[in-house]
Amino acid sequence: MVVAVFLASLVEMVEALTIVVAVGATRGWRTALEGVVAALGALCVLVVVFGPTLTSIPLNSLRLIVGAFLLVFGMQWLRKAILRSAGLKAKHDEDAIYADTVASLSSLSQRDTAGFVTSFKGVFLEGVEVVVTVITLGSPSHRILMASGAALLAVVVVTLAGLVVSRHLSRVPENGFKMTVGLMLMAYGTFWVGEGLGFQWPNGEAAILELAGFYALATASVIPYLRNSATVAQS
Amino acid sequence: MKLFRGIATFLWSFFIGDTPELFVGALAVVSLGWIAHQWLGSSGSVYLLPAAAAAVMAWSLARARRR
């Protein structure tokens, strides 16, 4: 669970950092950091408002709802990663996102507002995904604190990496992370849906690893098939 | 009203986006899991649930390949 939260947060934070670095380079670091601080504040409000309501939901219902959401997120992540690996979808290019953000900001005349809003949106939207991941993976097993710690560690790692590599964030092997996270989210989702419905998994929590293995095998077998069909379609 | 619409758009793109089949598929997987648990108990449904999720993924990938 900790690894899944860490990797998912890592991917989201790389995306957010790309936007913040682009804003900082074109509009100045003060505007970019103001957007970051405002977004972090908004995220804190979100957690404070909605976090406590989770404790009032019966555990089995919470597991079922969370499991269903994890299944949806996992399938979305894994689908994208499989399609990218098979060459049916363009890889996520942080350099291209950086160039697009710089170009759109350079053409705008309202200096500070545009930079602030871009930085705020980048951090807030990616941050919401991190919050949802932390809550969905952490709450059914009562490990919210551990999940939050993993997410925080990812934020620190990405921030430090950002200071070192600056705008060369495309070096992060994002598709591999995305595939691993997708597999883990699907495994957790299936497990929690089963728990919520009252299943007795044969090997208890070890079933999560078995489920991840099953989905990994299915993924490994489908990628060459899709890659071949993409090659045939191109030729 | 603008805020409500903004939140609704965000939630739609967050949970459904361009893959509505995954959202519908996940609901179908949960429903199938519930029915299977009533009929077969845990012994059968622990295999049926991941198989159903894999089938939904295969359906979505086949849909993406056709596009």
Q: What ipTM did this prediction achieve? A: 0.90
| Cβ–Cβ below 8 Å for A198 and B37 | yes
Token readout for A120 is: 């705020």
Contact yes or no for A45/A187 (Cβ under 8 A): no
Which candidate from B10, B33, B57 shows the least CB-CB separation from A79?
Answer: B57
**Which of A45, A47, A16 lies closest to A33, judged by CA?**
A16
Which candidate from B42, B60, B64 shows the least CB-CB separation from A199?
Answer: B42
Q: Is A154 within the bounds of a domain?
A: yes
Among A55-59, A154-158, A219-223, B43-47, where is mean pLDDT lowest? A55-59
Q: Is A128 within the bounds of a domain?
A: yes
Judge whether residue A50 has pLDDT over 80. no
Looking at the 3D structure of chain B, how many domains does it have? 1
| Cβ–Cβ below 8 Å for A79 and B56 | no
Q: Which pLDDT does position A105 carry in this prediction?
A: 67
State how far residue A33 is from chain B, nearest Cα, in angstroms. 24
Residues of B in Cβ contact (< 8 Å) with A193: 29-30, 33, 49
Q: Is B5 within the bounds of a domain?
A: no
Q: Is A234 within the bounds of a domain?
A: no
Residues of A in Cβ contact (< 8 Å) with B25: 75
Q: Is B37 within the bounds of a domain?
A: yes
Name A65's Cβ contacts closer than 8 Å, sequence gap at least 6. Answer: A57, A196
Q: Which pLDDT does position A170 carry in this prediction?
A: 57
| Cβ–Cβ below 8 Å for A202 and B46 | yes
Name A183's Cβ contacts closer than 8 Å, sequence gap at least 6. Answer: A74, A78, A212, A215, A216, A219
Q: Is B43 within the bounds of a domain?
A: yes
Q: Which pLDDT does position B29 carry in this prediction?
A: 94
State how far residue B23 is from chain A, nearest Cα, in angstroms. 6
User: Structural domain of residue A92, as residue ranges?
Assistant: 2-228
Residue B5 at interface with chain A, using a CB cutoff of 8 Å: no
Residue A223 to residue A231: CA distance in whole angstroms: 12
State how far residue A199 is from chain B, nearest Cα, in angstroms. 5
Q: Which pLDDT does position A235 carry in this prediction?
A: 63
| Cβ–Cβ below 8 Å for A72 and B56 | no
- Which pLDDT band holds residue A36 (cuts at 50, 70, 90)? confident
Residues of B in Cβ contact (< 8 Å) with A198: 37, 42
| Cβ–Cβ below 8 Å for B46 and A76 | no
| Cβ–Cβ below 8 Å for A190 and B53 | yes
Residue A92 Rama label (left phi>0; alpha psi -120 to 50; beta): beta
| Cβ–Cβ below 8 Å for A199 and B14 | no
| pLDDT top residue among A111 and A35 | A35
Looking at the 3D structure of chain A, how many domains does it have? 1
Q: Is A193 within the bounds of a domain?
A: yes
State how far residue A184 is from chain B, nearest Cα, in angstroms. 13
Q: Is A32 within the bounds of a domain?
A: yes
Judge whether residue A90 has pLDDT over 70. yes
Q: Is B23 within the bounds of a domain?
A: yes
Sign of CA dihedral A89, A92, A95, A101: positive
If you measure CA to CA, which chain A residue comes closest to B61?
A79
State how far residue A160 is from chain B, nearest Cα, in angstroms. 28
**Which of A21, A36, A93, A69 lies closest to A189, judged by CA?**
A69
Coil, strand, or helix at residue B53? Answer: helix
Token readout for A148 is: 């939050």
User: Structural domain of residue B39, as residue ranges?
Assistant: 17-66
Q: Is A233 within the bounds of a domain?
A: no
| Cβ–Cβ below 8 Å for B53 and A78 | no
C-alpha pair distances (Å), A182 with each of A3, A16, A207: 12, 19, 17
Q: Is A149 within the bounds of a domain?
A: yes
Q: Indicate the average pLDDT of chain B.
A: 87
Q: Is B46 within the bounds of a domain?
A: yes
| Cβ–Cβ below 8 Å for A72 and B57 | no
